[in-house]
Chain A
């Protein structure tokens, strides 16, 4: 059998050639740089919600994303916002379309905090592999959004099969500091800006452990060891602080990003598998004055649930991946449930173009594993693992991730319990606009890439 693209990417390429292009800036450009830095955010979102009808979902079991469950519930949304969520007796204003949800389930739109859609799109060819700028162990200057290919068919599959309405696209983990992540709505667009989530904070992707030391160590470069990893990271933060305290006369793209982290404007999403390493990273964050928002791929998080809880850090995890690399050796399916038992924040993530289509199923598997060791996490809380908790850890928890009045009407109507293998999204709304309807063959996006290809418009 051949190796899958999944494996190739996860173990990340060793053969990439290292060409570091240094740029020097002319002195007369310095002032301009300083001005540019304080201007409006570049590459601003141009996303606009599509029109929707005032809608009342009635009769379904509603999971609100924050642990709540309403049987025979009612969800009202209008003008792209959730108007009210309540029981069967909730009054439905005039002019609302009624959607019968009897025997069905409603959740907030699913959110994936860890995706490489667009930067490692389908088809998985070298010409489109733009996720890992492995030319230097620290590349805080690169932005994932400049690599995203909006025509990646993965965006539409995530919507149709996974009920995903929001996702964070991260650079890969070949570097210690990989660059800026971007939060997108997977509403098809001709441009990346048209998918950018309005007002979402940026995140910085960091990685500890095996990948950076392997990528650079194999080139006889620093870092070659875990202590090298920390050394490079710490120096980068020290340099960034110096920059922050300076006059910014000479603009440094990378340090702009690190400064944003130090000021608390940019979140840190840190790829880190091992418990002991996460503990060290938490100390580094304290030493340097920043906060880690979430540890991603944290397969050993269950060993330090107490520490993660005390530091208010989420663990973004798979249900049961393990063993594919040394730092994943101790992965267990009970990870999520044991974290929940400690009161720590759990996010189920995909890091995979197929997994993103079934985050609800991964969460259900993790829940079941917990139940078998006597850790019973209620369904409503488990739905939060792939909705609200993800939103919170992406800095958009005030706007989406749960069904609450005033929030974005990102809503999924499932044809059965989303924690069952037999269920599938039936309708998906993003900001109140119906973007997928299983009963309407044309209410389903087809990317440019798939147009005219075999299976175009197929129910994938």
Chain B
């Protein structure tokens, strides 16, 4: 699918042989842009892209029409910061490419080389309405985890939309441990690595590096893109003071394009984050002081940051926190609006937090995570309010291509719908 996206980005007319032209009519449509849902609306998709959306839109004659009566439509969900496509069984090391403790490299590591589009988790997430995601490496032996990618979840071989979309660095308590034992060491390691990267980038062709080298050439080359701002730097950080420390990096390295990941105490420094125009990717359903760097944890974190003007996406989907449950996270933020003293999101804002906002932070603003003319034809038809626990996708299109619902899980539930083995063992039921 990445060729198609590339075509869009280059301004060419994307043509995909399997993309369908279709329109969903009379549905309740959440466009993902933060607005309230529109009832009795129509969504038109042509040549793999959204053409028009709204109550005044009609299906062009000759276009295949899907009756959306009683159903809901949203853009495909965009899951920010995931481990999709990097493992089959998390605890089976042979199948797990999330981290590499014994590698001599860190910042140079590029997840795009390991992504498996046939992963069961991609199939399961797609069935849950997730159509795009960012995938990050996990930290091995360094504060630098390596370079993450943006992917689509279409059932085809082309998974990578944008390789090396960002670098991930871990600070705070975990970064301290990785750097040798303290936050001081982590900040020193970060600054030193960026300094070495700058030096390597400035070397004339063929010249040798001077002594006092801690960062491999490959890692330094990767970080050069971070210093000049051509590659976004995701920073894992939780504590308010640590967040301030990250924002302060911009005075030393003015071109850094920062994204805060985690930011459990973000609400305490929300005005500063907003002023620095640094977006945040966080997991909202965490309200416990799970570490000393997260003493101020509250589910109102997202609502309070949003109110202060911070761009906040819901993310950090890994392990048991599955991408397909993103709507539950969003729905819980809507629930907070009914609780005295709590801060939550409106329905439209909550949907945006799992669609357009993570897409924007990932560099695909207006192109993904939104039902707007020109955006990719990622459309999910739901059997009810998409944020509600009882709802699920009926159909999922990616780039206008209707996706199959086949997975190991789907086959298991079919096989075991009954336990009848009167004539043959269950192994023959397939």
Contacts and interface: CB of A to CB of B under 8 A. Distances in A.
A78 B261 CA distance: 49
Contact of B289 (A153, A303, A333, A421): A153
Contact of A453 (B168, B295, B316, B327): B295
Nearest to B287: A460
Contacts of B426: 303
A11 B390 contact: no
Given A421-B388, A454-B295, A7 B90 contact: yes
A421 B288 contact: no
Interface in B359-387: 387
A325 B387 CA distance: 28
Interface in B290-307: 290-292, 294-300
Interface stretch (A46-54, A117-125, A242-250): A117-125
A341 to B, nearest CB: 8
B320 A352 contact: yes
A261 B403 CA distance: 52
B107 interface: no
Contacts of B297: 455, 460
A441 interface: yes
A420 B338 CA distance: 13
A305 interface: yes
A305 B289 CA distance: 39
Contacts of B408: 329-330
A305 B419 CA distance: 8
B33 interface: no
Given A320-B322, A364-B390, A421 B291 contact: no
Contacts of B244: none
Contacts of A338: 413, 416-417
Interface in A352-371: 352-354, 357-358, 361, 364-365, 367-369, 371
Interface magnitude class on chain B: 35 or more
Interface in A406-460: 415-416, 419-424, 438-439, 441, 449-450, 453-455, 458-460
Contacts of B289: 122-123, 153, 449-450, 453
A458 B288 contact: no
B287 A157 contact: yes
B90 A361 contact: no
B339 A424 contact: yes
Contacts of B139: 1-2
A299 to B, nearest CB: 11
A334 interface: yes
Contacts of A439: 340
A6 B291 CA distance: 12
B89 A422 contact: no
A1 B291 contact: no
B174 interface: yes
A304 to B, nearest CB: 8
Contacts of A423: 335
Contacts of B388: 420-422
A422 B334 contact: yes
A324 B389 contact: no
Contact of A330 (B90, B285, B294, B412): B412
A230 interface: no
A375 B291 CA distance: 42
Nearest to B121: A323
Contacts of B319: 4, 6-7, 10, 324
- With a 10 A CB-CB cut-off, give which of A304, A357, A416 has the most chain B CB atoms: A357
A328 B320 CA distance: 11
A333 to B, nearest CB: 8
B204 interface: no
B318 A455 contact: no
B288 A353 contact: yes
B389 A354 contact: no
A143 interface: no
B236 interface: yes
B58 interface: no
Contact of A123 (B88, B291, B325): B291
A1 B322 contact: no
Contacts of A330: 408, 412
A173 B300 CA distance: 33
B340 A438 contact: yes
A361 B328 contact: yes
Contact of B413 (A324, A334, A421): A334
A396 interface: no
Interface string A115-158: 00000001111000000000000000000000000000110010
Interface string A322-356: 11111011111110001000100000000011100
Nearest to B268: A454
Contact of A122 (B290, B318, B340): B290
Interface of A: 1-7, 10-11, 122-125, 153-154, 157, 161, 210, 302-306, 318, 320-326, 328-334, 338, 342, 352-354, 357-358, 361, 364-365, 367-369, 371-373, 375, 415-416, 419-424, 438-439, 441, 449-450, 453-455, 458-460
Given A322-B409, A423-B335, A450-B289, 9 more contacts: A11-B90, A323-B89, A326-B92, A329-B408, A332-B413, A354-B287, A373-B413, A458-B341, A459-B339
Listed from nearest, the 8 A-B pairs whose CB atoms lie closest are: A421-B331, A454-B296, A364-B389, A325-B91, A460-B287, A455-B296, A459-B341, A122-B288
Interface of B: 81, 83, 88-92, 120-121, 136-139, 145, 168, 170, 174, 236, 240, 261, 265, 268, 285-292, 294-300, 316, 318-322, 324-325, 327-328, 331-332, 334-336, 338-342, 387-392, 408-409, 412-413, 416-417, 419, 426
16 contacts: A1-B316, A2-B174, A124-B291, A304-B419, A318-B320, A323-B120, A323-B121, A326-B91, A334-B413, A357-B285, A361-B328, A422-B334, A450-B289, A454-B295, A455-B295, A459-B342
